[in-house]
Chain A
Amino acid sequence: RKSTLNPNAKEFNPRSFAQPK
């Protein structure tokens, strides 16, 4: 079955989530 998800979607940039370095 074909997925409805689009690999060309715009990347999400989190506002509040701090990435552990």
Chain B
Amino acid sequence: QEPLTASMLAAAPPQEQKQMIGERLYPLIHAMHTSLAGKITGMLLEIDNSELLLLLESPESLRSKIEEAVAVLQAHQATESTHKSG
């Protein structure tokens, strides 16, 4: 699969750009966090496209960003379950 470039992205409409990046991110995230892959991908897709392209080129940065997303998600879920009594 050829790498995703800024010019490839620029040729697509904004919503499609996120989908294109998501299609690249998802398998990488799925390999690390199978059950949370869709959610984590969605969270990361809120980052600027230019930064997402950098993450795709840097497995180490991507991994730390994924770990950050998991931590945020778990903290959020813990809060949710505490508040979800009414």
Contacts and interface: CB of A to CB of B under 8 A. Distances in A.
Interface of A: 3-17, 19
A17 B80 CA distance: 30
Interface of B: 19, 22-23, 25-27, 30, 38-39, 41-47, 68-69, 71-73, 75-77
B46 A9 contact: yes
Q: What is the predominant secondary structure among interface residues of chain B facing chain A?
A: helix
A19 B31 CA distance: 11
A11 B71 CA distance: 16
Q: Pick the most buried of A5, A11, A13, A17: most chain B CB atoms within 10 A of its CB.
A: A5
A11 B42 contact: yes
